[in-house]
Structure 1
Amino acid sequence: MAPRANWKGFLRLSLVTCPVALYPATSESEKISFNQLNRQTGHRIKYLKVDAETGDEVTNEDIVKGYELEKGQYIEVSKEELEEIALESTRTIEIDEFVARSDIDPRYLIRPYYIRPDGKVGHDAFAVIRETIREMDKVAIGRVVLTNREHIIALEPMDKGLVGTLLRYPYEVRSEQEYFDEIQDVKVTKDMLDLARHIVNQKAGRFEPEKFEDHYETALIELINEKRAGKVIRPKERPKGENVVDLMEALRRSVGKEAAPAKADKPAKKPRKAAAGQKEMLMPIAGKKQPKEAAAKKPAAGARRKSA
């Protein structure tokens, strides 16, 4: 069952309109997260909204938005005033233009969403818009309002639905010049490029996300399991970096290092999926959605620290 929609409204291409729902395409809720605790009592830390001058707690009903003109001087803006300037894109994703995918600078990409028809009507119109984008091999550019702000959204077909990726505005993207101007102009020799190309060819492959493992998440799981089992945690020795004295020699050694596994008769070890670490947990993580394959298994009862 699909998660709750982040936004519902209409997708419009000229006079063709259909109701749609927008869902987040990514999630970080499966990652391990920590609570802040009082070291003395073991109790969770609670945050309060307080008046910066009086220190008194303020209820949500008494909190308004304000824009700071000068230090300590604000212009208050009410919810009703913000609703007055609500844009048409609050309820409609209007397709403004079509561009080539290669035209979109990756620095402008923010996050992806899945878009599908909302309800039983509008599937025909949705299919027309989707297949038009697919046939033209273009990306549709529109506007949508999320969290009270208007965003540019790039729409692309995926299977029977659409993927909409939020884009940044130009003023949100920093210029590369202030970071790259001081990089030295270095002449790279043909021999160096040939060796580097050889390394790249030895490492060539296909992008398969399931091969990648979140090593930090795995290390967190191991740490929690070891602490729960009462093991003594000892710091591990950190690998030391090597100073590169001769770049050509480093490239030659790299070529040899990458070629070595190919000579071995033993098959390469299959990388463990990131989700596998979650199944090895000795305890369930409260409030977290367990992987589907682990859902059928009954989790072990987790010990809870008693409050003082």
Structure 2
Amino acid sequence: MAPRANWKGFLRLSLVTCPAALYPATSESEKISFNQLNKQTGHRIRYLKVDADTGEEVSNEDIVKGYALDKDTFVEVSKEELEDIALESTRTIDIDEFVDRSEIDPRYLIRPYYLRPDGKVGHDAFAVIRETIREMDKVAIGRVVLTNREHIIALEPLEKGLVGTLLRYPYEVRSEDEYFDDIQDVKVTKDMLDLAKHIVEKKAGRFEPDKFEDHYETALVDLINRKRAGKPITPKERPRGENVVDLMEALRRSVGGAATETQAPTKAIKKSRKAAAGQKEMLMPIEGKKPKEAPAKKPAAKPRRKTA
């Protein structure tokens, strides 16, 4: 079942308008999550909202928001006051400008959404906007109101639809100066750079997400299944890092290691893909997690023609 739209309204480029819907492009619902339990009873922990001074539980209708001026002084803001200043959703994503993709600092990227036509009308106008962005090889910058706040959104074509990525405001991005000022200015010799380049060339590849396996998630599945089956849990030995004293020698050894790793890249890729494909298949069902059913093997039949 497809997720519900986070937003519905109109996409507009000047006088060209079409109904559109915004859907979350990512999800973490498949990841294993834990509840907190009472170690003595095994019961779930329930959180109560209590007064910090009296320790008495406070009902939701008696709770208001407050902005802390200092440790003990707050400015109270009521729900009605917040609703009064909340931005009214214009229900429209207005495209204000077009920029080069390279100009968008990755620190400003928040999360992606899928944008598609909403309903059976407006597909022609949507296609005009999408193909204009594609042909110009630009990123469209617009504004959208989500949960009473206005967000900047960057729109790019993706197959038949658009990907809209929410962007941070400048005040949300920290300056790098306070982190990088103490980094020493080091002169890298040509020999070291040549060796490092050689390592990079040996490890060069294409970005293929299907190769990646979430090893921690796989380990969680195995841990839970082993505990449910009553099997012993033995801690694994932690790998020990080697102390690098001679940087040049470390680079030379790395070049040798990179050459060895590239001798059979196809097998490594196939293994990673197989592991990623089977990652979500539980050995035993876990409550709240529905394992994917393996498709039944069909008996051999007449060969079918492949269709595009």
How far does residue 90 in structure 1 lie from its aligned partner after superposition? Answer: 4.9
Look up the match of 2:87. 87
5 Å matches for 1:52-71?
Answer: 52-71=52-71
Whether contact under 8 Å (2:87, 2:148) holds in the other structure is: no
5 Å matches for 1:207-218?
Answer: 207-218=207-218
Of stretches 87-96 and 26-35 in structure 1, the one that deviates more from structure 2 is 87-96
Q: State TM-score, norm by structure 2.
A: 0.88
5 Å matches for 1:128-147?
Answer: 128-147=128-147
How far does residue 294 in structure 1 lie from its aligned partner after superposition? Answer: 4.7
Of stretches 202-211 and 89-98 in structure 1, the one that deviates more from structure 2 is 89-98
Number of residue equivalences? 295
Equivalent-residue separation in structure 1 for 2:283 and 2:193 (angstroms):
46
**What does the per-residue CA deviation read over 1:92-133, in whole Å, with 9 as the maximum and x for residues that have no partner?**
211111110000000000100001111222222222211111
Look up the match of 2:276. 274
Of stretches 85-94 and 206-215 in structure 1, the one that deviates more from structure 2 is 85-94
Whether contact under 8 Å (2:49, 2:57) holds in the other structure is: yes
Q: Is there any run of 5+ residues in structure 1 with no aligned partner, and where?
A: 297-308
How far does residue 290 in structure 1 lie from its aligned partner after superposition? Answer: 4.3
How far does residue 88 in structure 1 lie from its aligned partner after superposition? Answer: 5.2
**What does the per-residue CA deviation read over 1:236-257, in whole Å, with 9 as the maximum and x for residues that have no partner?**
1111111111111111111111
How far does residue 231 in structure 1 lie from its aligned partner after superposition? Answer: 1.7
Look up the match of 1:284. 286
Change (3 A) 1:53 1:265: closer
Whether contact under 8 Å (1:30, 1:289) holds in the other structure is: no
Whether contact under 8 Å (1:112, 1:165) holds in the other structure is: yes
Look up the match of 1:192. 192
How far does residue 58 in structure 1 lie from its aligned partner after superposition? Answer: 2.9
Change (3 A) 1:75 1:263: closer
Equivalent-residue separation in structure 2 for 1:289 and 1:94 (angstroms):
40
Look up the match of 1:39. 39
Change (3 A) 1:103 1:10: same
**What does the per-residue CA deviation read over 1:201-225, in whole Å, with 9 as the maximum and x for residues that have no partner?**
1101000000000011111111111
Equivalent-residue separation in structure 2 for 1:220 and 1:212 (angstroms):
17
Look up the match of 1:302. none
Q: CA RMSD in A?
A: 2.3
How far does residue 230 in structure 1 lie from its aligned partner after superposition? Answer: 1.2
How far does residue 265 in structure 1 lie from its aligned partner after superposition? Answer: 11
Q: State TM-score, norm by structure 1.
A: 0.88
1:244 aligned onto 2:247: no
Whether contact under 8 Å (2:195, 2:252) holds in the other structure is: yes
Whether contact under 8 Å (2:38, 2:45) holds in the other structure is: yes
How far does residue 279 in structure 1 lie from its aligned partner after superposition? Answer: 1.0
1:228 aligned onto 2:243: no
Tell me the amino acid that sits aligned with residue 136 of structure 1: M
5 Å matches for 1:38-187?
Answer: 38-87=38-87, 89-187=89-187
